[in-house]
Amino acid sequence: MLRNYCLFSILAFSVSCEQVESLKVVLDNKSFSMTGGTLFLEPTLVTTKEIHFDAGRLLGATVLLSAAVEELGKHDTYIVVSDGSGRMLVVLTNLEDSGFVKNDLKEKKVEILGTVERGKKGLPYILARSVKLSTPD
């Protein structure tokens, strides 16, 4: 019993807060790509119109966007999506595995978990953390 307590104490002190937070991010990303849901985050469901007309409230926020793919980047670094209310650039460079992009995604729906960022001219884009193919309507 004492041995188990000592092992647990050593493990608890060896894990830093940063490691726990990075583990949460990895688990959320994997969970979203497989199930479409997150374990720790509560992302805001948004439309492209809400992002474009936002006054800064969504900047840096984790959001969830469901849209159709219109354009694929030449080197799988971005996609352009639309949801009926507008179009949005989604940057894929932070994704660990973007193998899904190599398939023909044109005209398919995706769900995107990402962070709202601003570009050079102040235009918003989404920096994707995880992407899941949606079921067709």
What does the pLDDT read at residue 117?
94
pLDDT in tens, 124-137: 999 999 888 876 65
**pTM metric for this prediction:** 0.78
Q: Digits of tens for pLDDT over the chain (137 positions)?
A: 555 554 455 555 555 555 666 777 777 777 777 777 877 778 889 999 999 998 888 999 999 999 999 888 888 789 999 999 999 999 998 887 655 555 556 668 899 999 999 988 889 999 999 888 876 65
Pick from 135, 133, 116, 114: nearest CA to 125: 116
CA 93 to chain CA mean position, Å? 11
Of 127, 14, 18, whose CA–CA distance to 78 is shortest? 127
How crowded is residue 54: how many other Cβ atoms within 10 Å of its Cβ?
15
